[in-house]
Chain A
Amino acid sequence: MDIGEIKKLIKLFESSALSELELEQEGHRILLRQGAVIHSAGAYAPPAVVSDGPIGQESAPAPTANPAPKTAVEEIKLTGHVIPSPMVGTFFRAPSPTSPPYVDVGDHVRKGQVLCLVEAMKLMNEIESDIDGKITRILQENGKPVEYGQPLFEISPA
């Protein structure tokens, strides 16, 4: 899928009543979100993630600092190593509501270090880093649902 097609898709998506659209094609995955998600988006949770193609491949334009338009479809190129969610569940950045988060953007992490929890059916799955590196992005918001394979963290390898 080329840039033109992605732009077309975004336009179509914006004019629709859909809040989320995920498309997988020939190894490329595109996720578009709009609506309520924007309002709850914190510093670590971009309102929308558009990832296209294998990691590192030149794709969508870089994120801009423009104020959010009606449908803030921010496009992010995931250039680093991505830690995906191994299961459907709820994403938690800390072991309990009163604890500090496991990691923050900018933190150096080691292979095997716990980055977050994903909870489903009251099973707390500790997600660990599989490489040494620096956290460059936290791609999900605390307490929000995540899907299988959805990127959770971007890490710049050490």
Chain B
Amino acid sequence: MTGRIDTSAFLEALDTKYLGRDPYFLDETGSTNDWMSFRLTQPKVERLLVMAENQTMGRGRMGRSWLSRPGENLTFSLAWAMPEGLANPAVVTLAVAVALAEALEAGYAVAPVIKYPNDLLLNEKKVAGILTELKSAGEEKFAVIGVGLNVNCAQEAFAGDLGSVATSLLIETGKRATREFVLAFFLNCLEPALELLASDGLKDIMVRYRRLALPLMGREVTIQGAGDVIKGKAEGVDGHGALLVRIDDGSIISVSSGEATFHRP
């Protein structure tokens, strides 16, 4: 079941008004986020979706890249015009994480957990990552949303230490998933989630987010990369999307930036 994405199968399963209606399935590109960034001035850019079987310059946070497995995984990007009045643009990432987790939950009977802020775990291992970039085109701001999702790659795909921290839908369910459907199911969940965010629905998104992030709460957490290293106990996520950490002196601080490591009990 490897090979290229079947566009008609994807469009058949797609139930959105605009998101992903104009898809580009490429064999290779530098980075799907860069591909999308060059097209932000195009009319109806929200309809665009770009997926590449292989990213030669794909990147995660701070230059790290997602594992490209041609014919097996999904690495793609889309663009969304930032609505005016969204006080904190960073919450877009949280809405994307919620939509992806809910799509996998409903479609594949798995139990995804969100590792704050936006990694998806299955059985404590990373199955998906999200990188959102906020870019301007003319007077408008766009979120360029990049997603890497391990769908059909086998355990052998993860060399060395990667095997202990990464997984795929195939590894967790024992079944190959149809990538066209995984992608469509996600977009079907994402469009209403983004629309909710645009119409003052952050509260609802955060309620759903907390449920998915809950399994890692109560754990010891270390946050690096945002100034000083912060250590404490993860207590929850506040209404603005910040992680609440109880530090040594008993006080609670909110952290919304940096790399969080949740330690296993």
Q: Which residues of A contact B (CB under 8 A)?
A: 36, 86-90, 95-99, 112, 119-126, 128, 143-145
Contact = CB atoms under 8 A, between A and B. Distances in A.
A88 B90 CA distance: 9
A145 B258 CA distance: 9
Nearest to A86: B89
Interface string B61-91: 1110000000000000000000000001111
Nearest to B256: A120
A122 B93 contact: yes
B56 to A, nearest CB: 15
Contacts of B132: 122-124
A96 B226 contact: no
B63 A96 contact: yes
B142 to A, nearest CB: 10
Nearest to A37: B227
Q: Give the interface SS of chain A, mostly helix, strand, loop or mixed.
A: loop
Given A144-B227, A145-B227, A124 B117 contact: no
A125 B134 CA distance: 5
A90 B227 contact: yes
Given A112-B136, A143-B226, 19 more contacts: A88-B256, A89-B90, A90-B226, A90-B257, A90-B258, A95-B63, A97-B63, A121-B118, A121-B257, A122-B118, A122-B131, A123-B93, A123-B134, A123-B143, A124-B132, A125-B133, A126-B134, A144-B226, A145-B257
B59 interface: yes
A90 B226 CA distance: 6
8 contacts: A95-B63, A96-B59, A121-B90, A121-B257, A122-B132, A125-B133, A128-B136, A143-B227
A89 B256 contact: yes
B130 interface: yes
B92 interface: yes
Interface string B206-230: 0000000000000000000111100
Contacts of B62: 96-97
A90 B117 contact: no
Q: Which 5 pairs show the lowest CB-CB distances between chains A and B?
A: A96-B63, A120-B90, A121-B117, A121-B90, A125-B134
A83 to B, nearest CB: 13
Interface string B251-265: 000001110000000
B226 A122 contact: no
B23 to A, nearest CB: 24
A98 B63 contact: yes
Given A87-B88, A89-B256, A126 B241 contact: no
A124 B256 CA distance: 12
A123 B93 CA distance: 6
B226 A145 contact: yes
Contacts of B130: 122
